[in-house]
């Protein structure tokens, strides 16, 4: 599918003594101590990607203690399948357990408003500079948090997809350049399916970050074009919905593929808890 030169800010894996730099992504698998480490990274100006499987004991423990609002409980109840409901609850729990230490309050003190297309917006004094994006699929939950940036995340495992279904969906939501790249890769069934989901993840991450979802014009956002040397030329920086976005793919160890999108916001005047 070609190589991705990557954006300016490269995601980095977590480590026991990792001190992320401002503007850097740090990817953290959810464990018991993850919430405090993530809060410290946010205070340092890093952007944080949390991920975990709902079957993991630490994720299940967080979900059981999730202090949901009545609106969140009602939304959770509308899921037809218990697995999807558990993913939704786990995501909200993980975010609260990070932002509680970040703001120095109990997780249950934090609330969320549903911004456009269900993008969660933290309701707490001084939280207007903190942006949150959530995604879940196939028992996995991904949460992106940042201060002073608008963020979006999408987790979506590659699936078996019939070529006709893939091409039909691409005609509806892919840009002409993306469809041209997909047509070249489509000669190899596996490569076509893999490229389809790679474009889809990146596109949805930007659309979610922008707060538009697929209500906007997804075909106006082009993230890949055919390349005679590599097959695909990835667009790591794009302009969409009045913002310049950085876009990156991330596949943490043992987790399904994810995509991140972010755009710098106006610098916050203060960051609660920062030194």
pLDDT at residue 139, as a whole number: 92
Beta strand 25-29 pairing with 47-53: parallel
Instruction: Give Cα separations from 181 to 177, 192, 237 (angstroms).
Output: 6, 9, 18
pLDDT at residue 275, as a whole number: 22
To the nearest whole percent, how much of the chain has pLDDT over 70?
85
Confidence band of 266 (pLDDT split at 50, 70, 90): very low
pLDDT at residue 187, as a whole number: 61
Where are the domains positioned within the chain? 11-155, 163-250
The residue behind tokens 């993530």 is 38
Lowest-pLDDT range of 53-62, 109-118, 172-181, 198-207: 109-118
Cβ(185)–Cβ(159) under 8 Å?
A: no
Q: Beta partners for 151?
A: 262
Residue 7 has pLDDT above 70, yes or no: no
Cα separation, 231 vs 226, in Å, equals 6
H or E element in which residue 87 lies: helix 82-103
**Is the pLDDT higher at 213 or at 141?**
141
Maximum average pLDDT range among 12-16, 92-96, 262-266: 92-96
Q: Taking residues 95-105, report their average pLDDT.
A: 90
Backbone angles phi, psi at 123, to 5 degrees: -110, 100
Token output for 218: 């997804």
11-155 CATH fold = Ribosomal Protein L22; Chain A (3.90.470)
């Amino acid at each position: 599918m070609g190589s991705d030169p990557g954006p300016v800010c490269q995601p980095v894996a977590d480590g026991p003594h990792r001190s992320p730099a401002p503007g850097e992504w740090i990817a953290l698998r959810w464990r018991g101590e993850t919430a405090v480490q993530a809060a410290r990274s946010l205070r340092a100006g890093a952007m944080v990607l949390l991920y975990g499987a709902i079957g993991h004991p630490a994720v299940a423990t967080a979900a059981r203690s999730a202090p949901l609002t009545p609106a969140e409980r009602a939304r959770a109840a509308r899921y037809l399948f218990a697995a999807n409901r558990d993913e939704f609850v786990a995501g909200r729990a993980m975010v609260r357990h990070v932002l509680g230490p970040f703001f120095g309050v109990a997780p249950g003190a934090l609330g969320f408003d549903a911004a456009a297309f269900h993008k969660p917006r933290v309701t707490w004094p001084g939280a207007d500079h903190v942006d949150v994006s959530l995604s879940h699929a196939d028992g996995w939950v991904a949460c992106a948090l940042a201060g002073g940036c608008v963020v979006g995340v999408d987790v979506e495992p590659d699936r078996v997809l019939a070529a006709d279904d893939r091409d039909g969906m691409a005609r509806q939501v892919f840009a002409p350049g993306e469809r041209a790249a997909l047509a070249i890769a489509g000669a190899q069934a596996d490569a076509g399916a893999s490229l389809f989901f790679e474009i889809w993840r990146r596109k949805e991450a930007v659309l979610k970050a922008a707060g538009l979802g697929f209500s906007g014009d997804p075909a106006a956002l082009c993230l890949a074009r055919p390349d005679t040397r590599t097959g695909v030329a990835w667009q790591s920086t794009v302009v969409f919905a009045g913002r310049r976005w950085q876009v990156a793919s991330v596949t943490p160890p043992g987790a399904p593929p994810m995509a991140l999108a972010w755009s710098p916001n106006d610098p916050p005047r203060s960051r609660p808890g920062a030194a």
